[in-house]
Structure 1
């Protein structure tokens, strides 16, 4: 009974307070305290809501010295943002406070200046039609067709930040071909080529990596596995994607000697787990960058001339190429016959340059002979290929699989 009386008394007092109070209860306190926006600069603190992004930028190798407005109110796109300085005001048109920028808004064209910082262009990707010779073209096109972010941003983020995506891929396998006098009399393969990207919304997309932190093998793990562990189930170890020149029989050293008179360029005889890295990838896929980072090797291999044979000065990261890019007739490193068996290889004819099958098969065809470990060991069989150009070849491609950029 006493509890009932006490409860009724409390409710009565509370009701009286509410009825006689001059203040109205407000769910969101200070919602009518407006930020003064009369100054020329931005007076609204973006970080109040986007504090996580600020934390990511604090750990970022790039863009950490830019303000939110530098990117998200970038004036180089023609967008009209809402603005005012107390004397006059401009209503926003395409955007009110901010927009989601494309990476190419700053890194397209010839690049642009943002205050005292220059945003360099991304060659090849800054063109209206991305050329076929640039690697990652399919990744960028898939990003453009997704609806997760603006333009090609997802493709940029998965390489340049700690943002993650998942890639599923498969290649052709059981590639068989027959040569007769350096001409194809048969060619067959199994499987289909499949490439899918799943744009997973995870990771720090405002935490930009330094360039030396970008690892090719994180996404191209299948190539790393093929080089380091061999092709699974084939019994062929350390072969695929590491061609070796076929020459110097007898007393020659397979690891070092070749007809050009220098050490092997793209064959790794040992310590593969450490040596298969981004620098190794650049040897072929960005010769200009590799030459710049390795001046002594550039001199040894005459890379200044090889650069002219490639498109490496016109790509952002890497070039999609074939063996013919460097080894076709008329190129700096065109095919040279074994100096011990001069005139018996395919030197003097453009066998490499005339391979008409899809680019994905070009390397497999060349590797059919140039995987050193499966090269016939003497036995009087040298002339079968080196003189007459007749061979029956079976080769596996890189293993299919799954890569997660984490």
Structure 2
């Protein structure tokens, strides 16, 4: 009886060991093989446990040729890890690996790898500078806020959000609309911020923190889907759908139609005709305003019609990371390359109104609007330049903005108080970009 019992136990144990996963079996076999860690280099293969990370790195555009030690056990980056040489650093020594900041390397132009080799690295524009560089960087606050997050070290979450396939949830809150009055003397009164709009986005990546994307594949509209929607679908309204974030030139001359062209001869700045919306609104379109230096570098042919080198000097795009916080007056302010005031005297029908001084009027109000925060500045300009507001023939379809002034044509509203001593006050309401929960 006992013999049968022992045979049964042997059979069951054999079956159990045979069906164990290889990884578990190998761990059990090696439990008493203790590694010698007396060498300053790494004596334990990291990929024995971190095979998933090794697989991610092998598929990454960047960092695939680096070792684990280069980032996580690198004394040349000030990292101190434990090894059996009889010394220790109290409170400042990692057991086996250090969690690095991205900026440990990318605040420099070269680093020394763990094996002592010096290599060049791309410095993160602006964010690699002290205090993350200029305040003109559009994403600087995101980087600073990431210091308070708990998933990564330092500001790493902000880096991972754009540069890897990290999973991310973001909530934007901003005003629903603004309202103001353009007074008869072209000043701004009765400025109000109305309501709150919430925009949520969930980036459903695979969570791979060690697969770094090519820079060319980073899509602005992944996070800024509300602006994409504003340009593609607009904000439904009556009597027009309002294409916010898409200003047009107010001009109805034969050569320069409001909806399809502009005085400077570059069709894509800034209004996008309906037929091209689905294909033109992409990261390159975003660069046209928010990183003119990058746009000029990847689209040199555009310089022939738009004087891009001069526009670059008007902006701070050479000093920002990815995108610049701008106002309309960044490019269109007094004395800037694309200051519209000199053009106004010759474009459209303005020359036919001998009493008008549109150039002086526009400069006065644009200077006033330029004093408002970036958040409101563009929307205030859009009070006149919104893509749906000046459609059709001069004198037709003016109701959405001009009812308050009572004008059936543009002349009465644009008549300068300087020349005539009178003008009209216009009440303007302009919505911000659309909102909604987005999963991408």
- TM-score interval for Structure 1 and Structure 2 normalised by the shorter chain: 0.7 to 0.9
| Residue in structure 2 matched with residue 121 of structure 1 by the alignment | 123
| Residue in structure 1 matched with residue 55 of structure 2 by the alignment | 55
| Residue in structure 2 matched with residue 368 of structure 1 by the alignment | 383
Structure 1: 5+ residue stretches without partners:
15-26
Match of 2:276 among 271, 279, 298: 271
Q: CA 1:284/1:61 → structure 2, altered by over 3 Å: closer, same or farther? A: same
Does residue 328 in structure 1 map to residue 333 in structure 2? yes
| Residue in structure 2 matched with residue 22 of structure 1 by the alignment | none
| Residue in structure 2 matched with residue 94 of structure 1 by the alignment | 93
For the residue of structure 2 that corresponds to 1:245, the secondary structure is coil
1:276-303 CA deviation, whole Å, 9 max, x = no partner?
Answer: 1000000000000000000000232111
How many residue pairs get matched? 387
Q: CA 1:111/1:394 → structure 2, altered by over 3 Å: closer, same or farther? A: farther
| Residue in structure 2 matched with residue 207 of structure 1 by the alignment | 211
Q: Is the 8 A contact 2:105 2:111 kept in 1?
A: yes
Q: Is the 8 A contact 1:167 1:403 kept in 2?
A: no
Q: CA 1:151/1:54 → structure 2, altered by over 3 Å: closer, same or farther? A: same
Q: Is the 8 A contact 1:255 1:264 kept in 2?
A: no
Does residue 398 in structure 1 map to residue 433 in structure 2? yes
Q: Give the Cα–Cα distance (whole angstroms) in 2 for the partners of residues 302 and 201 of structure 1.
A: 40
Matches within 5 A, 1:284-295: 284-295=289-300
Deviation at 1:55, TM superposition (A): 1.1
Matches within 5 A, 1:224-239: 224-232=228-236, 236-237=240-241, 239=243
| Residue in structure 1 matched with residue 175 of structure 2 by the alignment | 172
| Residue in structure 2 matched with residue 81 of structure 1 by the alignment | 81
Q: Give the Cα–Cα distance (whole angstroms) in 2 for the partners of residues 199 and 99 of structure 1.
A: 28
Q: CA 1:373/1:9 → structure 2, altered by over 3 Å: closer, same or farther? A: closer
Q: Give the Cα–Cα distance (whole angstroms) in 1 for the partners of residues 119 and 201 of structure 2.
A: 33
Superposed CA RMSD:
3.1
Q: Give the Cα–Cα distance (whole angstroms) in 2 for the partners of residues 266 and 326 of structure 1.
A: 12
Does residue 133 in structure 1 map to residue 149 in structure 2? no
Q: Is the 8 A contact 1:163 1:205 kept in 2?
A: yes
Deviation at 1:395, TM superposition (A): 1.4
The two structures have a TM-score, normalised by structure 2, of 0.78
Q: Give the Cα–Cα distance (whole angstroms) in 1 for the partners of residues 34 and 122 of structure 2.
A: 39
Structure 2: 5+ residue stretches without partners:
11-26, 352-356, 396-407, 417-422
Q: Is the 8 A contact 1:171 1:399 kept in 2?
A: no
For the residue of structure 2 that corresponds to 1:192, the secondary structure is strand
The two structures have a TM-score, normalised by structure 1, of 0.85
Q: When you count helix as a share of all residues, which structure comes out higher?
A: 2
Match of 1:221 among 201, 225, 246: 225
Q: CA 1:182/1:109 → structure 2, altered by over 3 Å: closer, same or farther? A: farther
1:79-133 CA deviation, whole Å, 9 max, x = no partner?
Answer: 322346xxx5654642232111101111115554544642212122123334321
Q: Is the 8 A contact 1:166 1:403 kept in 2?
A: no
Deviation at 1:39, TM superposition (A): 5.6
Q: CA 1:169/1:205 → structure 2, altered by over 3 Å: closer, same or farther? A: same
| Bigger mean CA deviation after superposition, 285-294 or 242-251 | 242-251
Match of 2:308 among 283, 303, 309: 303
Q: Give the Cα–Cα distance (whole angstroms) in 2 for the partners of residues 66 and 207 of structure 1.
A: 13
